[in-house]
Amino acid sequence: MSPKEIAAHYEAKVFDSPAAAESAGFALTETLAPRNVWNKASAAQSLALKLRDKKEKGEAKEIGLVIEPWSVTGCYVPNETAGRDHFKV
């Protein structure tokens, strides 16, 4: 599977750049910069699985992947932001 397909499988949002993810309220996690497309898919899978665990533990409300040409970065919306949004009117 390609990184985008992996993101779709794990219901993760896809961003083109870290700035786009941050502006959408996502916090960035680790960045992996593999050297070829197969390792890029592996990196995306590894990040997506870690983020999925985070979501299941309740630490993340939403998860995403920043897929750039030479790197993949994990990102998630921390669960505490849900409370903050509640007070924003």
Interface with another protein (CB under 8 A): 32-35, 38-39, 42-43, 45-47, 49-50, 70
Task: Kindly tell me which of 64 and 74 has the beta carbon lying closer to another protein.
Answer: 74
- Residue 5 falls in which region: left (phi positive, over 0), alpha (psi -120 to 50) or beta: alpha
CA atoms within 13 A on the CB side of 36: 1
Q: Give the nearest distance from C-beta 23 to another protein in angstroms.
A: 26
Task: Kindly tell me which of 33 and 82 has the beta carbon lying closer to another protein.
Answer: 33
- What are the angstrom distances between the C-alpha of 25 and each of 2, 56, 70, 80? 25, 19, 23, 12
In single-letter form, the type of residue at position 30 comes to E
Q: Give the nearest distance from C-beta 89 to another protein in angstroms.
A: 39
Task: Kindly tell me which of 38 and 87 has the beta carbon lying closer to another protein.
Answer: 38
